[in-house]
């Protein structure tokens, strides 16, 4: 069993991984889920990137204010994130680490890999990173545990259930109100 893990989240300009990361957060935790180290940041939107209106609304991002406040370039931020992951691997006893997110296998991980490749950074860490997705765990618990929350989806279909992070956090009484969609807040809630 691994002695450390990294929980992470990304907020982005688009649903498609060709878009750009707006903000990111990585927390290195021990087996007791104590935060050991963190890496967070905001990335200035490239002049070549046109943010998707749906992503701007979902992230509640004021694009003009974001651009006024943020000066970090994507290439520098991706180097910082990669260095953080490599450092976490080196600190672990068996030189391997889990990278864990919520809905990360279909969204965050492809985005992160695409951003690494776009900036000339190897995205696979020599097979020393194991990938975990808490959405998959939620799906398994939904099937296996009768006590797991079953909340109808907001699309009106009573046969569809919602496994959105925000929905589950509210059901477990870990969140009041709405999710902020800031990567660090989402990581704190996930850990």
How far is 149 from 152, CA to CA, in rounded Å?
10
- Quick: pLDDT tens for 64-88: 898 999 999 999 999 999 999 999 9
pTM over 0.85? The answer is: yes
Query: Where are the chain's structural domains?
Result: 4-190
Pick the CATH number of 4-190 from 3.30.420.10, 3.40.50.300, 2.60.320.10, 3.40.50.1000: 3.30.420.10
Q: For residue 68, give the 3-state DSSP assignment.
A: helix
User: How far lies 165's CA from each of 93, 152, 172, 191, in Å?
Assistant: 31, 14, 11, 12
What is the pLDDT, as a whole number, of residue 162? Answer: 85
Residue 39 β-bridge partners: 26
**Three-state SS letters, 116-146:** HHHCCCCCCHHHCEEEEEHHHHHHHHHHHCC
pLDDT greater than 70 at residue 29: yes
Radius of gyration of the chain (CA): 17
pLDDT greater than 80 at residue 180: no
Q: How confident is the model at residue 5 (pLDDT cuts 50, 70, 90)?
A: very high
- 10 Å CB burial of residue 160 (0-12, 13-18, 19+) is exposed
User: How far lies 140's CA from each of 42, 98, 123, in Å?
Assistant: 34, 19, 28
Q: Which position has the token pair 């935060």?
A: 35
- Quick: pLDDT tens for 145-154: 888 888 877 7
């Amino acid at each position: 069993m691994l002695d450390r893990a990294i929980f992470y989240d990304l907020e982005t300009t688009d649903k498609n991984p060709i878009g750009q990361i707006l903000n990111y957060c990585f927390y290195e935790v021990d087996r007791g889920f104590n935060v050991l180290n963190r890496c967070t940041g905001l990335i200035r939107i490239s002049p070549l990137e046109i943010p998707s209106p749906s992503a701007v609304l979902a992230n509640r991002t004021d694009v003009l204010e974001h651009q006024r406040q943020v000066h970090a370039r994507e290439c520098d931020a991706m180097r910082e994130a990669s260095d953080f992951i490599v450092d976490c691997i080196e600190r672990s006893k068996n030189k391997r680490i889990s990278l864990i997110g919520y809905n990360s296998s279909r969204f965050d991980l492809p985005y992160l890999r695409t951003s690494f490749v776009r900036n000339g950074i190897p995205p696979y860490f020599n097979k020393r990173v194991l990938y975990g997705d808490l959405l998959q765990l939620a799906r398994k618990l939904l099937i296996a545990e009768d006590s797991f929350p079953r909340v109808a989806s907001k699309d009106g279909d009573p046969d569809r259930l919602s496994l959105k992070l925000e929905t589950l956090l509210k059901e477990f009484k870990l969140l009041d109100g709405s999710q902020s969609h800031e990567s660090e807040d989402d990581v704190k809630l996930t850990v």
